Chain A
Amino acid sequence: MIREIVRKELLEIFREGRFRVALLTVAILVVTAIGVGRQYYRQVNEQHEAARRNARSEWVSQGSKNPHSAAHYGTYAFKPKYPLSLLDNGVDKYSGVSIYLEAHKRNDAQYMAAQDQTALSRFGDLSPDFILMFMVPLFIILIAFNSVSRERESGTLRVMMSQGISPWKLALGKWLAVFTPVAVLTLLVFLVGGVLLANLEDFGLFSWWPLILLALVYLLYYGVFINVSILVSASVRKSSLAFVLLLGIWILSCLAMPKATSVVADALYPYPTQLEFEEQIAEDKTNGLNGHDPWNAESKKLEAETLQKYGVDSVKKLPFNWDGYLMQKGEEHEAEIYFKHYQVLKEIYQKQSKVYRTSAALSPFLPARFLSMALCRTDYHAHWHFADEAEKYRLMLVGRLNGDMVDNSRTGQWDYRADEKLWRAVPDFAYEPVRYQSIVEANAGHFLVLLAWWVLSGVGMLVAVRQMKVF
């Protein structure tokens, strides 16, 4: 019986122009977006690869110089573009793609795509995630807002209910009839996206199962909208009212709530401004050990301790290069300062995330959005992970260079030179992205909230259909 309802609903839907136009529009948009996205992805990846090779070759061929000068010369870490970012760009546009790695200083990622854009393109990027997150729910509302109310208005509901059909079956049939075209469209998008990605050269980064998880997240998200649409359609007397109500719900959950939540999160746990942040770090630095200034108080203290430890009376008599040693100690000290301050930022980020997690109960958009970005590795967590790894690499790099100076030269020997052999010996930055397992574990909460949305709105729909008025 449910199959008959689905069949009839689909027959009706497909014979109506409204649906064909909507489906065609969404399909064209998605295909265009994926096509454009793939092109963009390839282009960015090529640039990324070229820049990475370029940075390495510049590093290797920087000529012979003092190792600490090489640490000042520095190099770059490039954030890889992940295949699934083709589907959800997340915060990539705003988070920057490369980090300049140098001695004494932790830099932030720079060169964000948003910098190159005009104000117009800030809103409404034609990216698949825009269509999947915003347009498809609208499309669902368009086909489902009158699924019950139309039958009540025209009078077919009377005849239908007089045939002795149970409300559960009716609700399920109506639900499946909306879900089927939406699911087909969604799966098609993911299939096309998957095939396109699987055919890219760097196939290694791509695997199917996060894509399948992502499809599941979106189908759950759409399920919530179908539930709510049918719930409203069954409870409200007029189709026009149902449409207006559902549009209101869409605006609230997809536009207003996310914005309000981010405003609240910022107000509760504000980030320091760039200036404040840098000033705090600078202050800690001046009070601490400075590797380039052997005369400051902390340096003198370290000197005294070291001399005592080795039982000598002058740094010249130490069995290693004191200048390099002091430099490395300074570096380690500064690294601690950076770690401390970035830790504060991270805590703010964690607290804000908690606000988002809490408010996910108010809009299904939020958990879906976070899950989508997380699975595509384009959320802030992925960016933090990259920045932390880059910092680890920077410390290793500077440590190796200072270490070479400490071991292979004597105190005061500033004309010591290392050459390409050393530069080559330092491994290139090989970034291992966050593992999917830890992504899944970290986002299980979002998934449960989305699932709760699905279940509760589903129960609401069943109750509404059970209690609906026939005329």
Chain B
Amino acid sequence: MLEAVNLSKSYNGVSALKGVSFKVNKGDIFCLLGANGAGKTTTINLFLNFISPTSGQALINQVDTAQQPLATKKMLAYIPENLMLYPNLTGVENLHYFSALAGRKYPSAELTNYLNEAGLREVAHHQRVSTYSKGMRQKVGVAIALAKKADVLLLDEPTSGLDPKASNEFAALLKKLSELGVATLMATHDLFRAIETGTHIGIMKEGNLVESMTTDQINHQDLERLYLKHMN
């Protein structure tokens, strides 16, 4: 479970996030929409404790990320917009390494399973990542997240630049994880995917969360209208 309590962040007096509060429960997929610079990535970075909040709290399973950054990171998995891996290592080696960092060691058969589950073709498993496309790297990222068995998933525009098929597979994976009880926070520009995959939608503007709703309250067209209204 993931909770932002009056979360604020300012850089040298300039507010990037102005007292945002929301909650993502077990099994929810909360999609954050908004223009670039609206504060989506800042919110995610606060949950990762890559930056410290100016005020307010970012809680994961009721634990403050600023107080216990290592413990809260053990509970989350993170996939950035452009997931970078070690180019000189193979997909399996990358997965093995990142899992080991999270304190989980798997036999190679299990690593292969996770990569398969994430949709990476088996021939690519033992190729160096330098030969991978962005979509393939992103799949390794999913495998890393799966292998971590996290309660919380933080996604920062994970499907941008993916082809529709890969994007679709990704959405299916998210749904599967949500059924398993994973709470997901996803920043995205893809309104269609947000409606399709998400359970909740929030719209951010200039550091504020201006709209918050469940996806069964709204359809794609209404969402687009609402979104554009806020952007203008």
Contacts and interface: CB of A to CB of B under 8 A. Distances in A.
Interface of A: 1, 4-5, 8, 11-12, 15-16, 154-156, 158-166, 470-471
A16 B86 CA distance: 11
Interface in B84-120: 84-86, 88-89, 93, 97-98, 100-103
Given A8-B89, A470-B50, A159 B102 contact: no
Given A163-B148, A164-B102, A155 B80 contact: yes
Interface of chain B, main secondary structure: mixed
Nearest to B141: A159
Contact of B73 (A16, A155, A156, A162): A162
A1 B99 CA distance: 10
Contacts of A471: 50
Contacts of A162: 48, 73, 76-78, 154
B88 A11 contact: yes
B70 interface: yes
A161 B50 contact: yes
Most chain B CB within a 10 A radius of its CB, from A155, A158, A164, A166: A164
18 contacts: A1-B103, A8-B93, A11-B88, A158-B78, A158-B84, A159-B85, A159-B144, A160-B98, A162-B48, A162-B78, A163-B73, A163-B102, A163-B148, A164-B103, A165-B70, A165-B102, A470-B50, A471-B50
A470 B78 CA distance: 14
A160 B76 CA distance: 12
A343 B48 CA distance: 68
Interface of B: 48, 50, 70-74, 76-78, 80, 82-86, 88-89, 93, 97-98, 100-103, 141, 144, 148, 154
Nearest to B71: A164
Given A11-B88, A15-B88, A158-B50, A165 B80 contact: no
Given A8-B93, A163-B101, 5 more contacts: A4-B100, A15-B88, A155-B82, A160-B101, A162-B48
B98 to A, nearest CB: 6
Contacts of B78: 158-159, 162
B35 to A, nearest CB: 20
Contacts of A4: 97, 100-101
B63 to A, nearest CB: 12
A155 B83 CA distance: 7
Contacts of A5: 101
Contacts of A155: 80, 82-84
Contact of A159 (B72, B74, B83): B83
A4 B96 CA distance: 9
A2 to B, nearest CB: 10
A11 B50 contact: no
Contact of A12 (B76, B86, B100): B86
Contact of B84 (A156, A161, A163): A156
Contacts of B98: 159-160, 163
B2 to A, nearest CB: 14
A165 B73 CA distance: 8
Most chain A CB within a 10 A radius of its CB, from B73, B77, B97, B148: B97
A179 to B, nearest CB: 19
Contacts of A15: 88-89
Contacts of B103: 1, 164
A166 B98 CA distance: 13
A109 B70 CA distance: 66
A199 B98 CA distance: 49
A256 B148 CA distance: 51
Contacts of B100: 1, 4
Nearest to A13: B88
A12 B73 CA distance: 25
Contacts of B141: 159
A8 B100 CA distance: 11
Contacts of A164: 70-74, 101-103
A5 B50 CA distance: 20
Given A4-B100, A162-B76, A163-B101, A156 B93 contact: no
Given A1-B101, A162-B73, A162-B76, A154 B88 contact: no
B70 A166 contact: yes
B82 A12 contact: no
Leading 7 A-B pairs by shortest Cβ distance: A164-B73, A155-B84, A162-B78, A4-B100, A163-B101, A15-B88, A163-B102
Contacts of A163: 73, 98, 101-102, 148
A305 to B, nearest CB: 89
Contacts of A165: 70, 101-102
Contacts of A159: 78, 80, 83-85, 98, 141, 144
Most chain B CB within a 10 A radius of its CB, from A154, A158, A162, A471: A162
A14 to B, nearest CB: 9
Contacts of A156: 84-86
Contacts of A158: 48, 50, 78, 80, 84
Contacts of B83: 155, 159
A73 to B, nearest CB: 72
B89 A12 contact: yes
A366 B97 CA distance: 40
B88 A12 contact: yes
Nearest to A155: B84
A162 B65 CA distance: 12
B73 to A, nearest CB: 3
Contacts of A16: 88
Nearest to A15: B88
